[in-house]
Amino acid sequence: MKNKLISLMLGVAASMALAGAAGAGTMDDVRQNGFVQCGVSQGLMGFSIPDDKNNWTGMDVDFCRALAAVVLGDATKVKFTPLTAKERFTALQSGEIDILSRNTTWTMSRDTSLGLKFAGIMYYDGQGFIVNKKKFPNIKSATELAGATICTQSGTTTELNIADYFKSHKLDYKLLTFDKNDEAISAYQDGRCDAYSTDQSGLYAQKLKFAAPDDHVVLPEIISKEPLGPVVRQGDDAWFNVVKWTYFALVNAEELGITSQNVEELKKTSTDPEVQRLLGVPNADGTTAGFGTGLGIDESWAENAIKQVGNYGEIFDRNIGEGSPLKIARGKNALWKNGGLQYAPPVR
């Protein structure tokens, strides 16, 4: 009993400290600063990567832009903080960033012990392996990697999943981890390890950057569930709601056929009540439905994000889908009505 009380008190103190790290509330901070401080990866094609002029692109980057459009009405009001896998959670806990949008897997310990809160699953991923065909000419399966040295980035779920996978298949292995992903990739390319492992989306992204991409093959096994999504601190429900409903708005917009191209037209002409609610169209008597008010923001919150950044499908397509060099199929990330897992609760 005494122990329980002590751990309860410690828990409360920890969440107060976490909430305190962000001052009065993250939404107020963001409004005062005039921008969203968004933690991203240091460079992962399709998710978050800067060009030589420091213009960032990617799904994770676009999510933060959509959030800025929702909260501040302007998708350009974002600053990006590139973070290694190891640094990312401390940056969020300490209040250095307002949101972490960095191909981060939703796991129980991150969602509980680390004091964080995942707002949704932007991308359903799973971990895989890539190997050099010259080293393994006839390889068909990861089970043939007995005794192999695997390179990966430290501070990731990847490290832990490899241990589980090799242990459960009773295979020996050696792990070579690096703080920076570029170092892990160089070690793999230099032949210091037999395989490189990460989320499958990351494998396809890295492969494109290899000197001879066709020399490498992604093995068929998916050894884990890697639900990737945006994360915030616990103890700030108003901010959590805004982040969560930004994601839901993007998915609902795709489901309702609202795009960056037609959103303005649909706002004026659509008679579909679902479209009208999402876009904050006033009722016949001039009153507003109040969904923006419920979030503490403008009624045109969703319209701003869709107009300036696009719906979920548009974001997927241009960054990692058919409209991108990665050409990843929608697969599990298709809308639920098309057999996928992307599903958002209704705006009601």
Ligand X SMILES: N[C@@H](CCC(=O)N[C@@H](CS)C(=O)NCC(=O)O)C(=O)O
Judged by beta carbon, residue 41 or residue 270, the one nearer ligand X is 41
| The only residue of 37, 177, 198, 200 in contact with ligand X, by rule CB under 6 A | 198
Backbone angles phi, psi at 233, to 5 degrees: -80, 150
Judged by beta carbon, residue 156 or residue 304, the one nearer ligand X is 156
| The only residue of 42, 149, 241, 260 in contact with ligand X, by rule CB under 6 A | 42
- Pairwise CA distance, residues 212 & 262, whole Å: 41
Buried b (16+ CB within 10 A) or exposed e, 231-242: bbbbbbeebbbb
- Pairwise CA distance, residues 160 & 156, whole Å: 8
| The only residue of 26, 37, 153, 246 in contact with ligand X, by rule CB under 6 A | 153
Judged by beta carbon, residue 41 or residue 132, the one nearer ligand X is 41
Judged by beta carbon, residue 222 or residue 272, the one nearer ligand X is 222
199 touches ligand X (CB under 6 A): yes
308 touches ligand X (CB under 6 A): no
157 touches ligand X (CB under 6 A): yes
101 touches ligand X (CB under 6 A): no
Judged by beta carbon, residue 132 or residue 156, the one nearer ligand X is 156
Which strands sit side by side in the sheet containing 148-153, from one edge to the other?
Answer: 173-178, 148-153, 195-199, 127-132, 216-218
- Pairwise CA distance, residues 134 & 293, whole Å: 59
| The only residue of 93, 101, 156, 246 in contact with ligand X, by rule CB under 6 A | 156
Binding to ligand X, residues 224-243 (CB under 6 A): 226, 228
216-218 and 127-132 beta bridge pairing: antiparallel
- Pairwise CA distance, residues 34 & 18, whole Å: 22
> With contact defined as beta carbons under 8 Å apart, do 149 and 177 qualify?
no
- Pairwise CA distance, residues 307 & 289, whole Å: 20
Judged by beta carbon, residue 128 or residue 310, the one nearer ligand X is 128
Interaction pattern, residues 251-290, with ligand X; x per rule: CB under 6 A: ----------------------------------------
Please give the residue ranges that form the binding site for ligand X (CB under 6 A).
41-44, 84-85, 103-105, 153, 156-158, 181, 198-199, 202, 226, 228
